Amino acid sequence: MLEPLYQKTIVCDQCKAQFITSKVRSSTVRVARTDSDFCAHYKDINPNFYEVRVCPKCGNATTEKFSVPFNNVSRTIFLDKIGNQWRTKDFGGERTKEEALQAYKLALINAQIRGERDVIIAQLCHHIGWLYRYDERFEEEKRFLGLALKSYMQAYVNEKSDIHLAKLMYVIGDLHARTGDSGEAIRWFGKVINDKTAVDPALVQMARDRWAELRTPPA
Ligand SMILES: [Zn+2]
């Protein structure tokens, strides 16, 4: 059988060290089911565990989607908060759920220090929420879904042009439902259903289903 992990060499954009990170071959990924907010549950290896690349020398954690480089100010803050306390730790091989969580949290702090785009910060928080969901740690999950929701809402206002808007509105609706505000969830699902520019019929159907589910009081 094909080894699911393969290795990639990355150059750290902070300390310039070269390091190895692992990725999952897409042909080995098998999805068991997907939740209404696109959280996939995998039969065996979870590719999300390997999305963050962590420099073993300085702790600089990024994903392929990062687009804001360090400047003098953010670099100083990074060194102060992470780099100067960092003890060599290698995330390059196989990762446990706990190591994946650590990697995502490092990436989140890094993204906040760099002033990354809201949608990047939102997706990191959303993924951290999923990692807690896999472990049924629902309090922590809800906390990070709330943080994700806040950043998705900011992305909706600030970054409209470069995002799949209907999907963003759908996710905002779904996270409102998951964090306990079904009124707002219904409103956002309604926006997806009535959006004239929505070109994804499957997504509109998902919004209809979620909308109907929330409008129907439990029997
Ligand atoms: Zn580094």
CATH number at residue 85: 1.25.40
Distance CA(141)–CA(134), nearest Å, equals 9
130 and 208, same structural domain? no
Residue 133 one-letter amino acid: R
**Which pairs with CB-CB distance under 8 Å and at least 24 residues apart come from 87-92?**
88/56, 88/57, 89/54, 89/56, 89/59, 90/19, 90/56, 91/21, 91/52, 91/53, 91/54, 91/56, 92/7, 92/19, 92/20, 92/21, 92/22, 92/56
202 and 105, same structural domain? no
Tens digit of pLDDT for each residue in 2-41? 799 999 999 999 999 999 999 999 999 999 999 999 999 9
Give the pLDDT band (50/70/90) at residue 52: very high
135 and 219, same structural domain? no
Determine the pLDDT at residue 216: 81
Determine the pLDDT at residue 30: 96
Determine the pLDDT at residue 26: 94
Tens digit of pLDDT for each residue in 187-208? 999 999 998 876 788 999 999 9
**Rounded distance from Cα 67 to ligand 1 centre (Å):** 16
Distance CA(208)–CA(4), nearest Å, equals 37
**Rounded distance from Cα 11 to ligand 1 centre (Å):** 8
Determine the pLDDT at residue 19: 97
- Cβ distance 151 to 121 under 8 Å? yes
- Structural domain boundaries, residue 182: 164-219
Q: What value does the mean pLDDT of the chain take? A: 94
Determine the pLDDT at residue 153: 96
> Measuring CA to CA, which residue among 71, 92, 118 is closest to residue 10?
92
Per-residue pLDDT at 219 exceeds 90: no
Determine the pLDDT at residue 160: 67
For tokens 């190895």, the residue is: 20
182 and 149, same structural domain? no
Total number of domains constituting the chain: 2
More confident residue, 197 or 158: 158
Distance CA(103)–CA(209), nearest Å, equals 35
Distance CA(95)–CA(187), nearest Å, equals 39
200 and 140, same structural domain? no
52 and 22, same structural domain? yes
**Rounded distance from Cα 57 to ligand 1 centre (Å):** 5
Determine the pLDDT at residue 218: 67
**Rounded distance from Cα 12 to ligand 1 centre (Å):** 5
pLDDT average, residue stretch 147-168? 87
Which of the listed residues 159, 174, 204 is the one where a domain comes to its end?
159
119 and 56, same structural domain? yes
89 and 18, same structural domain? yes
Determine the pLDDT at residue 159: 79
pLDDT average, residue stretch 206-215? 93
Per-residue pLDDT at 151 exceeds 60: yes
